[in-house]
């Protein structure tokens, strides 16, 4: 009893069969993009290895991944396309099987958190894509719970083969194929997760601009202190950042008004002088009464 399983086909024959079908597809206007490894290592760069490490960290996939590694190493992934939220592949087995893997976009809150924690720590987009990052940034972008790589709950997959398991060897080979493809084009990870890698760089520039603005406010405060020392006037203590800026033209004469009010101080002196003459008048009246 075969239980619906097809007979084993040697690797060489599988490749020959796949090549014929790919040639037919190419004539129809579709260019194939196979996974061809150089040696046994599936991936050699930071992003490719990080993808494979993330894949192997989930126990849900552990019993299916070994066969997938064998398939991707022997060149069975004859076409692999990565678009936003989707991986499409053709894997050569007893027949040529069609694989579709859908991956949810990165959670906006997780992406914002990545941007915030990496702000000012990535110098350029080239360094980001080449994986030339500090240990702290590497840890942040690969964090299992809210990094750039998908969790099993964010992945749905299907294959045209008769294996009804959640992940067959053809799907596993395709997922490993993604890791190999990220060696060549690491920007595809950001496309797959629906985010723009340039935002990590622009966030860094925004943080630097805020720091520079703060320094300018400090310089303005120092300038006002020096102004008070030179002109011998007291400035009110600023209650907000806006109050530390230089007042508009036309209002700079206000601090001089208290000096002009010094003139009324002479009036009380005149009143005291008038009261001093009063006893003379009173004394004359008393003299007249007594006489």
- Read off the pLDDT of residues 144-156 as tens digits, 9 standing for 90 and up: 989 999 999 999 9
Q: How far is CA 225 from the centre of its chain?
A: 39
Domain assignment present for 166: yes
Domain assignment present for 95: yes
> Same structural domain for residues 180 and 94?
yes
Domain assignment present for 287: no
> Same structural domain for residues 158 and 20?
yes
Share of the chain above pLDDT 90, in %: 48
The domain in which residue 131 lies consists of 107-147+197-234
Domain assignment present for 263: no
- Alpha-helical (H) ranges within the chain are 11-27, 46-56, 65-73, 108-118, 125-130, 135-141, 169-184, 187-193, 198-231, 257-260, 267-290
> Same structural domain for residues 127 and 77?
no
> Same structural domain for residues 159 and 205?
no
Domain assignment present for 283: no
Structural domain tally of the chain?
Answer: 2
> Same structural domain for residues 178 and 46?
yes
Tokens 């350029």 map to which residue?
124
> Same structural domain for residues 125 and 217?
yes
> Same structural domain for residues 39 and 134?
no
> Same structural domain for residues 97 and 169?
yes
> Same structural domain for residues 87 and 125?
no
> Same structural domain for residues 35 and 141?
no
State the pLDDT at residue 9.
77
Rounded to two decimals, what is the model's pTM? 0.68
pLDDT band at 5 (very low <50, low <70, confident <90, very high): low
- Read off the pLDDT of residues 234-267 as tens digits, 9 standing for 90 and up: 445 444 444 444 555 554 545 545 544 445 444 4
Burial 201-212 (b: 16+ CB within 10 A, else e): bebbeeeeeeee
């Amino acid at each position: 009893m075969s239980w619906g399983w097809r007979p084993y086909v040697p690797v060489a024959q599988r490749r020959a069969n796949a090549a014929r079908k790919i040639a037919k597809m190419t004539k129809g206007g579709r260019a194939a993009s196979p996974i061809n490894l150089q040696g046994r290592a599936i991936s050699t760069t930071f992003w490719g290895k990080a993808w494979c490490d993330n894949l192997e960290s989930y126990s849900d996939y552990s019993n299916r991944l070994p066969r997938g590694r064998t398939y991707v190493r022997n060149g069975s992934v004859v076409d692999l396309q990565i678009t936003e939220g989707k991986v499409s592949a053709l894997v050569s087995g007893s027949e040529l099987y069609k694989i579709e893997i859908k991956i949810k976009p990165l959670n906006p809150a997780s992406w914002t958190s990545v941007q915030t924690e990496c702000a000012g720590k990535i110098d350029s987009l080239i360094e980001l894509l080449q994986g030339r990052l500090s240990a702290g940034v590497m840890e942040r972008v690969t964090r299992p719970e809210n990094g750039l790589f998908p969790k099993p709950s964010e992945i749905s997959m299907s294959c045209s083969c008769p294996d009804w398991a959640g992940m067959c060897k053809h799907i596993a080979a395709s997922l490993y194929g993604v890791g190999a493809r990220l060696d060549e084009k690491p920007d595809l990870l950001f496309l797959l997760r629906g985010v723009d890698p340039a935002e990590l760089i622009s966030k860094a520039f925004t943080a630097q601009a805020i720091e520079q603005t703060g320094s300018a406010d400090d310089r303005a405060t120092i300038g006002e202190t020096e102004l008070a020392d030179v002109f011998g006037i007291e400035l009110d203590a600023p209650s907000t950042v806006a109050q530390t800026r230089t007042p508009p033209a036309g209002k700079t004469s206000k601090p001089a008004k208290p000096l002009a009010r010094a003139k009324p101080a002479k009036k009380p002196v005149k009143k005291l002088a008038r009261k001093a003459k009063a006893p003379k008048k009173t004394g004359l009246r008393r003299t007249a009464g007594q006489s």
